[in-house]
Amino acid sequence: MFTGLIQTTGTVLSVEQREGSRRIAIAGPIGDGILLRTGDSIAVSGVCLTALDIDPYATPPRFHADLAAETVARTSLSVLAPGSTVNLELPTLAGTPLGGHVVQGHVDGTGTLLSLKPVEEHADPALADWWLTISVPSEISRYIVEKGSIAIEGISLTIARWEPGTAKGDLVHVAIIPHTYANTNLHTLKAGQPLNLEADVLIKFMEQRSLAPKFKLTLEYLIANGY
């Protein structure tokens, strides 16, 4: 489990296409801000991956991860190229304060970045608040709640405004503070790029409960259970 509080960013060093899978190499502060062992889970832009071939002594330090065909098809990792910036987060330790929200690292699909603009047009980018607008696919829209949580590229964010059914599709608007803009991959992204989306798992559980058959006490039930 993750919280969506990004610990650091990494840089894609290489993307290797293999038989039925794809392997990526990511440079990051391994052994410093990110302590990894082979087989550990790590969220890469919101996708839970397995760390392999970790080399903290390389220049720069790096780890590798294999992407299954399902991961490539469903996430924004499909467009990674050398030089891409990715968000990195280790799993949450038991007893750690839950500062963001419950994030599984199981991406539901991708949205499309429409715009990321400063709230004040001429503000200093280092001090500005930003307004992020993305279009959301219909299969995720039913989990969207205004003022609810969503993970975008693995970042725990609050849905500031929800506009379903516009001419541009179902739109999510999010307010981005300067710290988040500067310390995640958001400042490197361009309009039209896919963004990983993970809906709040609690809303998914609520939907599942609401669709479950209602219990009805019957004579047959009582007899079958020894009453």
What is the C-alpha to C-alpha distance for residues 112 and 105, in angstroms, rounded to an integer? Answer: 19
5: Cα separation from own chain's centroid: 10
What is the C-alpha to C-alpha distance for residues 214 and 138, in angstroms, rounded to an integer? Answer: 27
Query: Around Cβ 69, how many Cβ atoms within 10 Å?
Result: 10
Q: What mean pLDDT, rounded, does the chain reach?
A: 91
What is the C-alpha to C-alpha distance for residues 7 and 204, in angstroms, rounded to an integer? Answer: 26
For residue 215, pLDDT beyond 80: no
pLDDT-based confidence at residue 178 (cuts at 50, 70, 90): very high
Q: How many residues does the chain have?
A: 227
Over residues 133-173, the pLDDT tens digits come to: 999 999 999 999 999 999 999 999 999 999 999 999 999 99
Percentage, residues of the chain above pLDDT 90: 74
> Encoding tokens for residue 146?
């205004």
| Look-up of token digits 């307004």 | 131
CATH topology of domain 109-211: Elongation Factor Tu (Ef-tu); domain 3 (2.40.30)
| pLDDT for the residue numbered 107 | 96
| pLDDT for the residue numbered 61 | 94
What is the C-alpha to C-alpha distance for residues 92 and 104, in angstroms, rounded to an integer? Answer: 10
| pLDDT for the residue numbered 183 | 96
| pLDDT for the residue numbered 93 | 82
Over residues 83-125, the pLDDT tens digits come to: 999 999 999 887 787 788 999 999 999 999 999 999 998 888 7
Q: What is the mean pLDDT of residues 24-37?
A: 86
What is the C-alpha to C-alpha distance for residues 14 and 121, in angstroms, rounded to an integer? Answer: 36
| pLDDT for the residue numbered 31 | 76
Is it true that 8-89 and 109-211 share their CATH fold?
yes
CATH topology of domain 8-89: Elongation Factor Tu (Ef-tu); domain 3 (2.40.30)
| Domain chopping of the chain, boundaries | 8-89, 109-211
| pLDDT for the residue numbered 98 | 78
